[in-house]
Structure 1
Amino acid sequence: MSISDWTGPQGPLKNAILIAGPTASGKSALALRLARETGGTVVNADSMQVYGVLRVLTARPDETQLAAAPHRLYGHVDPREAYSTGRWMRDVEALIRSGELGSKPAIFVGGTGLYFRALLDGLSAMPEVPPTIRQRWRDALADKGPVALHDLLAERDPAAAGTIRSTDGQRIVRALEVMDASGKPISQWQARSGTPMVDRSSAQLMVIEPDRVVLKARIDQRFDAMIEEGALDEVRAIAALDLDDALPAMKAIGVRELIAADRGEMGFEEAIDRSKIATRQYAKRQSTWFRNQLGPEWQRISMQE
């Protein structure tokens, strides 16, 4: 069994607060307000905000916000690494076991739906994947591209292929390597029940549903502010690491666009416009996922300031 399997703490975490929402919807501000009111700890539930270097571009809390309340699991992962939901669960478990969260509410906030699902439903056990198999599929992705591998996955595991976009190389490779290593489709592994980390009955579940017109304006204004606050310097720093384009950190919105502009492959205004459009599209996908996947026990609230 893989080390990525999460076995759960001694019991589900009581009285947790979960705040989901699309990017730029004000969820971090709400989490900070609740942390001040309750004395709780804000725990990151966004897969991009775990990475170091990209503080501005991923809208991680700034120094003032970090000083206002305890924050955990922000910027603690090297961008050279491919972080996973399983590893995030282990990191949360470590927080619980260490006593860092104390007796006050843990306030999980972010835009990664799978993190919230894992908290409430647990993660399915996954097999150990030998490094040789993992590298073989990464090489295949670099050589053939995600669409070709998605076609292969559709032949071997139609159920998994139906849930993964043909451009999502990381998830496609994950499905193929699991089948290669275990002889079983990843969809079968995922069907196995996991151990919840959060006690659903005592948790407060909130999802922000923003007005689309207002959200669009906020996204545009925020990206302009990111540029002024040094996003380009962050992008230059991560470009200097010469990372594989398949790594999650390289997929942060704005990274590829600003790198291309910095290299003279497009104008900066075009790069900014493309980044804003990509952010709006991402927010729409997030909102759709939350609307379809989060049940009636989740309180729907309006956009936060």
Structure 2
Amino acid sequence: MNQTLYFIVGPTAIGKSSLALRLAEKINGVIINADSMQVYSNLKILTARPSSADLKRISHQLYGYVDGSIRYNVAKWCNDILKVIQKNQINNTPLIIVGGTGMYIDKLLNGLIDIPSIPELIKEKSENLVKKVGLGNFLKIVNDIDPVSLNNISANDTNRLKRIWEVYSFTGIPFSEWKKKQNNFFLNKPDYHIYLFTPSREKIYERVNMRFKKMLNQGAIEEVRQLILLKLDKSLPIMRAHGVPEITDYLSNVSTLDDCISRGQQITRNYVKRQLTWWRSCSLRIHQSFDEFPEKIDEKLLKI
């Protein structure tokens, strides 16, 4: 493809969207979401989706367009963004892709393993098995079927552990064997510029703590209350979004508001730590890297 894709990436809560807006105005671009939770229509406050004013200011794509009952994933996002890219290629509109879900960006640029879609029944079985035997014993089960896949993941990464179990249970082939197969590519030799922002972890933590409280004041509790009324399967991605389990426990009188706030902040800080580790060790070609918050960077400093 001839069109250059511009990526503004880094951990959550650092203000990537504000820089994306300024850059979009400078180059007459469109902003596209690359955050796995901002796709959901049911969570606007808790996922920090762009404001109504921002949406009027610049065209935004792939925000709040998926219902929470859908088990959205990286393959669906790659196919969805591919349609947006192809549509805007006609007019050669600059595309600014913003988000912290590094895996989405990596798979868009480097392709995805062609693994058969896992049925909901298998996903439900993996969820129930973890609850039944506990994470420690589930880890042993996964190790028995595919020890190679455990080499590069955390023993506490429930989602990836379940993924390994699900793939083997459905296909009879270990996930590590599937990974040896050639990737399916979404883009043909893409030209891209990644602008990576990794401010001080401690300063990001401060923002995370303040932002979670602000979200609660803006209506996040009522947002989760409405989500609970839908009686969705708790294994769905939206039900595991940062803040949803914590606020759910508060609304169910399992925890106090203070506990809810403390746990919500901690979960998000843990996520920031994982994001920083991922971005600092990823193999993607970084065009420019900054150790400041995006709002402190003049868009003119971005090498287009």
TM-score (norm 1): 0.87
Identify unmatched segments of 5+ residues in structure 1: 1-11
The residue identity in structure 1 corresponding to 2:220 is A
The equivalent of 2:3 in structure 1 is 14
1:104 aligns with 2:93: yes
Q: Secondary structure at the match of 1:203?
A: strand
The equivalent of 1:5 in structure 2 is none
The equivalent of 1:254 in structure 2 is 243
Q: Is the 8 A contact 2:3 2:92 kept in 1?
A: no
Q: Is the 8 A contact 1:15 1:199 kept in 2?
A: no
The CA RMSD over aligned residues, in Å, is: 2.3
Q: Is the 8 A contact 1:154 1:162 kept in 2?
A: no
1:162 aligns with 2:167: no
The equivalent of 1:113 in structure 2 is 102
Distance 1:165 1:82, change over 3 A: farther
Alignment of 1:55-66 (within 5 A): 55-66=44-55
Distance 1:197 1:33, change over 3 A: farther
The residue identity in structure 1 corresponding to 2:202 is V
The residue identity in structure 1 corresponding to 2:246 is E
Instruction: Give 2:161's match in structure 1, choosing from 172, 187, 195.
Output: 172
The equivalent of 2:182 in structure 1 is 193
The equivalent of 1:79 in structure 2 is 68
Instruction: Give 1:304's match in structure 2, choosing from 287, 290, 294.
Output: 294
Q: Is the 8 A contact 1:145 1:169 kept in 2?
A: no
After superposition, what is the alpha-carbon deviation per residue over 1:235-257, rounded to whole angstroms, capped at 9, x for unaligned? 10111122222221111111111
The residue identity in structure 1 corresponding to 2:167 is V
Whole-Å separation in 2 of the counterparts to 1:101 and 1:262: 49
- Displacement of 1:126 in angstroms is 0.9
Whole-Å separation in 2 of the counterparts to 1:56 and 1:304: 21
Instruction: Give 1:268's match in structure 2, choosing from 253, 257, 260.
Output: 257
Q: How many residues end up aligned between the 2 structures?
A: 294
- Displacement of 1:129 in angstroms is 3.9
The equivalent of 2:231 in structure 1 is 242
After superposition, what is the alpha-carbon deviation per residue over 1:38-89, rounded to whole angstroms, capped at 9, x for unaligned? 1111111111111121111011111111111111111112112221111111
Whole-Å separation in 1 of the counterparts to 2:131 and 2:41: 25
The equivalent of 2:30 in structure 1 is 41
Whole-Å separation in 2 of the counterparts to 1:256 and 1:137: 19
The equivalent of 2:82 in structure 1 is 93
TM-score (norm 2): 0.88
The residue identity in structure 2 corresponding to 1:304 is P
Q: Is the 8 A contact 1:169 1:246 kept in 2?
A: no
Using the aligned pairs only, state the percent identity.
35
Distance 1:216 1:169, change over 3 A: closer
Q: Is the 8 A contact 1:82 1:248 kept in 2?
A: yes
- Displacement of 1:271 in angstroms is 1.0
Identify unmatched segments of 5+ residues in structure 2: 296-304
Q: Is the 8 A contact 2:30 2:59 kept in 1?
A: yes
The residue identity in structure 1 corresponding to 2:7 is L
Whole-Å separation in 2 of the counterparts to 1:163 and 1:248: 22
